[in-house]
Amino acid sequence: MELSTGHGRRTEVPAEYLQIADRWAQGTMHTSRYPDTHVGDPVDWSLEAHDGSWLFRFHNMEYLFSIYRAFDETGEERYRELIDRLISSWVAAHPTAQPESPAWMRHTTAMRAQALAFAAGYVPATDDYVGALRQHGKFLANPENYSGAWNHGFDESLALLAVGATVADREWMDLAVRRASDAIVAMCDAQGATNEQASVYHFYVWKQFGQFEEELERCGLEPPPALRRREAIIDFLVHASQPDGRLVSVGDSLGTPIPRISGTPLEFTASKGEVGEPPSRRVQVFDRGWAFARTGWGTERPYAEESLLTVRFGPGRAVHGHSDHTGFHYFTQGRTAVGDAGFSGYANPERRAYELNEYGHSQVVISGAGPYRPTAPTELLRYTSDQEWEQFLLQDSPYQGVDRRRTLTFVHEPECVLVHDSVFVPRGTVVARQLMHLAPSLQLKSQEGKELLHFTDEQGSLEIRQLLPVTNIDVARGTEGSLTTGWAGIGLSRHAPSAVVTSRGHVKNRWCDFLTLVTPRPGLGVDVGAGQVEVGGVVVPLPVPVRGGIDG
């Protein structure tokens, strides 16, 4: 049959696409995330090298786009022959779809289907090739194989649309458009915040929506009105931009450079203030559970010297999110001074569990009150802005019968973050611990009893001061034989020692309060009064009274 070509197109390929193509011609799979792996020629598709992430890349066949680009640029027939050889051998090795096998995982299949659909412009329309396209279309159309409204499900819809358009199956095309259109509404709200709960995935979703729009245009179909929400994602990414030119690493996010999207405000943040105009707002609250407050956009001091506070709340953990509610990331002096345990991929189950759970984040955790409930929502009760500070009041109940309230106040000058935690426990004997995860670069310089910690690195100082009595303060960093407390994920399967500060207090009279000053300006004068704290001459109100005592 005559196939329609150009569907499933990828506009981005790795910079080393020629190297990838040539390595495949030698029977070697090359990817920047794993060592080169000999897979054979013909390929041994039964290989299970490295881990599940490698298998995903092995079978999703996205490397075909590098070979397509190599052929388009060189015109060398050997690349077209390599495309045909790889596809033919994979199809021959997988005559039936087996949903439980690595090769037929839903997302793997979706990515491969897009690559196979685009191959219609490079390989002959043999019965085996067309049969493979229909095999993938049937798999994707099956509702049991649809992952729903998140990035995996959207890739499945993109794949079904591409396959349907290639083989002229209008029923598959219509189903794909309906799924994708409905998913956009669920995935992205009017403010541009997605349901992925990880900052870097906002950019991925932005790219997915753009690919959907381009495919609709190739198919002669009108885009749904909801697709206009794609533009709002840019605003989220702008506010999630750190002064160092990277996105805030929240959830399953690495230190990703800010995407420089031409003609958008991201040109300003990606260039660290050198191109374009600064945004009009220093503070932005996203109803889906994000708040960003910064000292400025580089108009009154160098852009790189600005600071940023990121606050997490909203719906319970989902998709690529972590159990980070009421947690915060404090970027100051050129690095994230306070954050979380980071992200190091999915390969190590123990490490993965730690990065996901409540102990991997800068928040108050409770022992003796039952398990933490990651699906519990966190409400932003109040956001207040003053000329000298911003304040966020959060409330949730992630433990059965336990009420947590956290007030985060970001003071601009003298710069500091004031953290007030107030925890009510209606029954039982529990222990409350306030955790703070620090940057790997920060080293403990001195400690004064149960009140004051002083950390330093090449960028400067960080002081953590407990303004109310606590039972004790522990600092754990890089414990030998462990990959959990005291280690931060800094890349795929990469970790670095990092200090975790644990301030501990027994609940007294059903209440427990922590009042903590975090500042890059050691030695600030502090006066704790009734319902307020004065820091360096700036008066900060406490919307929640200090009601609990902590045995000291």
Backbone φ, ψ for residue 498 (5° rounding): -150, 140
Contacts with 240 (C-beta within 8 Å, 6 or more apart), sequence order: 199, 202, 247, 248, 250, 290, 292, 310
Would you state the structure tokens that stand for residue 425, as one six-digit string? 């426990």
pLDDT in tens, 87-143: 999 999 999 999 889 999 999 999 999 999 999 999 999 999 999 999 999 999 999
Q: What distance lies between CA 114 and its chain's CA centroid? A: 24
343 close to 336: Cβ distance less than 8 angstroms: no
Q: What is the residue whose two structure tokens read 């990880």?
A: 198
Contacts with 201 (C-beta within 8 Å, 6 or more apart), sequence order: 151, 194, 251, 252, 253, 319, 320
Q: How far is CA 169 from CA 134, 158, 403, 433, 452, in A?
A: 9, 14, 54, 58, 68
pLDDT recorded at residue 164: 98
Q: How far apart are CA 122 and CA 491, in angstroms?
A: 36
Q: What is the rounded average pLDDT of the residues 11-30?
A: 95
User: If DSSP states are collapsed to H, E and C, what string results for 52-67?
Assistant: HHHHHHHHHCCCHHHH
pLDDT in tens, 507-544: 878 899 999 999 999 999 999 998 999 999 999 999 99
pLDDT recorded at residue 548: 63
By CB neighbour count within 10 A (0-12 exposed, 13-18 middle, 19+ buried), where does 409 fall?
A: buried
Asked which of 8-17, 211-220, 261-270, 494-503 is least confident by mean pLDDT, the reply is 8-17
Secondary-structure class of domain 17-187 per CATH? mainly alpha
Q: How far apart are CA 60 and CA 74, in angstroms?
A: 25
Q: What is the residue whose two structure tokens read 């060398």?
A: 76
pLDDT recorded at residue 513: 95
Flag whether pLDDT at 552 surpasses 90.
no
Is the model more confident about 34 or about 143? 143
Q: What is the rounded average pLDDT of the residues 179-192?
A: 98
321 close to 197: Cβ distance less than 8 angstroms: yes
Q: How far apart are CA 498 and CA 364, in angstroms?
A: 19
Contacts with 64 (C-beta within 8 Å, 6 or more apart), sequence order: 83, 86, 87, 115, 118, 119
In the chain, CATH 1.50.10.100 sits at: 17-187
Would you state the structure tokens that stand for residue 91, as one six-digit string? 């199809």
Angle formed at CA 196 by CA 435 and CA 262, multiple of 5 degrees: 110
Nearest to 397 by CA among 418, 427, 375: 375
Long-range contacts, stretch 176-179, CB < 8 angstroms, 24+ apart? 176/140, 177/216, 177/221, 177/224, 179/146, 179/153
Q: How far apart are CA 429 and CA 81, in angstroms?
A: 70
Assign 124 to helix, strand or coil.
coil
Residue 197 region by backbone torsions, left for phi larger than 0, else alpha for psi between -120 and 50, else beta? left
Would you state the structure tokens that stand for residue 305, as one six-digit string? 């010297």
Q: What is the DSSP letter of 363?
A: S
pLDDT recorded at residue 551: 40
Q: How far apart are CA 293 and CA 304, in angstroms?
A: 15
Q: How far apart are CA 253 and CA 468, in angstroms?
A: 34
112 close to 156: Cβ distance less than 8 angstroms: no
Task: Specify which residues 411 forms β-bridges with.
Answer: 389, 416
Largest CA distance in the chain: 81
CA 476, 462, 540, 396: dihedral to nearest 10 degrees?
A: -30
Q: How far apart are CA 514 and CA 431, in angstroms?
A: 13
Given pLDDT bands bounded at 50, 70 and 90, which one contains residue 1? confident
The chain-wide mean pLDDT, for the chain, equals 95
By CB neighbour count within 10 A (0-12 exposed, 13-18 middle, 19+ buried), where does 551 fall?
A: exposed
Strand duo 538-541 + 431-438: pairing: unpaired
In the chain, CATH 2.70.98.70 sits at: 313-550
pLDDT in tens, 248-281: 999 999 989 999 999 999 999 999 999 999 999 9
Would you state the structure tokens that stand for residue 189, as one six-digit string? 């709200």
User: Is 313-550 a CATH 2.70.98.70 domain?
Assistant: yes
Would you state the structure tokens that stand for residue 11, as one six-digit string? 């506009």
Q: What is the rounded average pLDDT of the residues 61-66?
A: 98
Q: How far apart are CA 482 and CA 322, in angstroms?
A: 20
Backbone φ, ψ for residue 310 (5° rounding): -115, 130
